[in-house]
């Protein structure tokens, strides 16, 4: 999934503007509870997904997450559905090294990661619910790759657009990105004008009053 015009435009926005745009359009895409494990740069890209499950009697043919890394193109974002589980890691250091080598823009885990210092040292943006050193080996296996998943009560498909920064994560459905991005750009322009008014000495009460409260209805 190569970088495209929408990814480039998303990189110039932030999660708050995109979340506001989707609020206005009635789209559920703001992920709650998953944040960067260290201060990170803003990322935007298209999703490559994988899902984990508890290991039963079955034998895994490959290590979890490796298929997603192999499927990713430069600029993609790997997203893992681990059902919010934080008692065992769903991502680790060798996977981070492989993802960085592939040019992956970042990794999002609805669960926990380990080897966080390693990922930070690589400069790989890493988002998760928690960090935990406990290995997945013998406990967790991969259920699927590049299928529909859910993170933080938000459903997403492979190829959906994602923007993530220090405020959180927003998923943009690929069939609505043409509506969302222009609306977010409009919101940013209006907020920049309001900030300029405040910096010019206008009362913040006056600037934010009616205009700000009605921004998502106009």
Mean pLDDT by 10 residues, the chain (218 residues): 80 97 96 97 97 87 93 97 97 98 98 98 98 94 96 97 98 98 95 92 85 69
Q: Are residues 136 and 196 in the same domain?
A: no
Q: Are residues 52 and 116 in the same domain?
A: yes
Q: What is the pLDDT of residue 79?
A: 98
Q: Are residues 168 and 190 in the same domain?
A: no
Q: Are residues 90 and 167 in the same domain?
A: yes
Strands 77-89, 43-54: pairing kind: parallel
Q: Are residues 155 and 199 in the same domain?
A: no
Structural domains counted in the chain: 2
SS3 100: helix
Tell me, yes or no, whether 108 lies in a domain.
yes
Segment 171-175 long-range contacts (CB within 8 Å, at least 24 positions apart): 171/29, 171/31, 171/47, 172/10, 172/18, 172/22, 172/27, 172/29, 173/27, 173/29, 174/46
Q: Are residues 190 and 94 in the same domain?
A: no
Four-CA torsion 131, 137, 141, 147, nearest 10 degrees = 40
Q: Are residues 61 and 152 in the same domain?
A: yes
Q: Are residues 47 and 100 in the same domain?
A: yes
SS3 140: strand
Q: What is the pLDDT of residue 211?
A: 65
Q: Are residues 82 and 157 in the same domain?
A: yes
Q: Are residues 147 and 206 in the same domain?
A: no
Tell me, yes or no, whether 218 lies in a domain.
no
Tell me, yes or no, whether 41 lies in a domain.
yes
Q: Are residues 56 and 125 in the same domain?
A: yes
Tell me, yes or no, whether 166 lies in a domain.
yes
Domain that holds residue 76: 5-175
Q: Are residues 152 and 190 in the same domain?
A: no
CATH (domain of 73):
3.50.30.40
């Amino acid at each position: 999934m190569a970088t495209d015009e929408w990814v480039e435009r998303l990189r110039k926005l932030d999660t708050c503007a995109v979340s506001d745009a989707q609020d206005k359009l009635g789209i559920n895409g703001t992920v709650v509870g998953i944040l960067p494990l260290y201060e990170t740069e803003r990322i935007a890209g298209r999703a490559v997904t994988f899902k984990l499950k508890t290991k039963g009697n079955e034998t895994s043919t490959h290590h979890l997450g490796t298929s997603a890394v192999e499927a990713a193109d430069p600029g993609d974002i790997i997203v893992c559905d681990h059902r919010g589980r934080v008692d065992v890691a769903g991502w680790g250091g060798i996977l981070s090294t492989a993802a960085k080598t592939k040019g992956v823009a970042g990794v999002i885990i609805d669960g926990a990661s380990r080897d966080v210092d390693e990922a930070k040292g690589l400069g790989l943006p890493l988002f998760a619910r928690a960090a935990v050193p406990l290995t997945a080996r013998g406990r967790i296996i991969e259920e699927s790759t590049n299928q529909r998943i859910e993170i933080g009560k938000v459903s997403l498909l492979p190829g959906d657009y994602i923007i993530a920064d220090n405020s959180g994560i927003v998923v943009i459905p690929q069939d609505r990105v043409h509506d969302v991005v222009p609306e977010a750009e409009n919101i940013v322009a209006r907020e920049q004008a309001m900030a300029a008014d405040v910096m010019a000495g206008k009362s913040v009460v006056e600037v934010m009053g009616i205009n700000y409260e009605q921004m998502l209805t106009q």
